[in-house]
Amino acid sequence: MKARPEQFQSRDRTWQPKALTPAYKSTRLRAPGRPPVLFANTLSETTGPVFGHDMIGPQDNDLICNYASSDGAAIGPRIAVHGRVRDENGRVVPGVLIEIWQANSAGRYRHKNDTYLAPLDANFGGAGRTITDKKGCYTFQTVQPGPYPWPNSENAWRPAHIHFSVFGSGFAQRLITQMYFEGDPLIPLCPIVQSLNDPAAVNQLTARLDMDTAISMDRLAYRFDIVLRGTTSTPFENRLEGN
């Protein structure tokens, strides 16, 4: 019997945030004034450069330890973040390079331009990477990031979040998003989150507490699944027109 081809799901452009969202102040300057023009990928974009699986070190997905001194560890509530990457038809996607970066437990990034008064953690670098396994699964060990103020408006605060970067077969095939935490009261107050048109899209960016995967007397766990394309794909901030 001949296999039936998978159904192609067209993009839902209303699912992604609008380029211009006045409450999110920086979009007033960077939003395009004209409709986007889409170009097909070039041969170099679809074939390379590519990443090597041997580039991943044994502690690259452990942010608690990968920047720490030999006898140290990152400060803050210890958590595991895990999930599965699927395509638009629900098939798992193995071999995907995922990178994350985040603020420390006090809400400060290890970056020269971060001037927030919260302290740096000498044992926390704030970045990690891993590759999805044969079942499309990934796991990171890290600490709960803290919220932080930002100059969008008076007394504006970003909810706790982790940035995700998902690569295809080459570095030019990259999708970027943010993961939030279930129950954070700052989520509905954030204009970046409010730029999403559908509450279901916000829900898809919110990791769920997963007590079945939590480690007793050690760390909580959160599950964050990623959908690469389709009508209900994960909202990606660098693919506002759909991925």
Of 82, 108, 129, 163, catalytic:
163
Q: How far apart are CA 43 and CA 57, in angstroms?
A: 30
* Closest CA relative to residue 24, chosen from 169, 129, 178: 178
Of 82, 86, 129, 161, catalytic:
161
Beta strands in 104-204 (DSSP E): 127-131, 137-143, 148-149, 157-158, 161-167, 174-181
Active site residue 116: no
Of 138, 148, 180, 222, catalytic:
148
Active site residue 161: yes
Q: What is the largest CA-CA distance in the chain?
A: 65
- Do the beta carbons of residue 173 and residue 93 sit within 8 Å? no
DSSP assignment of 172-195, as one string? TSEEEEEEEETT-TTGGG-HHHHT
List the structure tokens of 5. Answer: 């081809």
* Closest CA relative to residue 230, chosen from 165, 175, 159, 189: 175
Active site residue 82: no
> Locate tokens 């794909």: which residue?
233
List the structure tokens of 219. Answer: 């760390």
List helix spans (H) across the chain: 27-30, 43-47, 191-194, 199-204
Active site residue 148: yes
Question: Strand, helix or coil at 89?
Answer: coil
Of 86, 158, 180, 222, catalytic:
158
Of 24, 67, 109, 222, catalytic:
109
List the structure tokens of 49. Answer: 């450069």
Active site residue 4: no
* Closest CA relative to residue 144, chosen from 217, 215, 225, 63: 63
List active site positions. Answer: 109, 148, 158, 161, 163
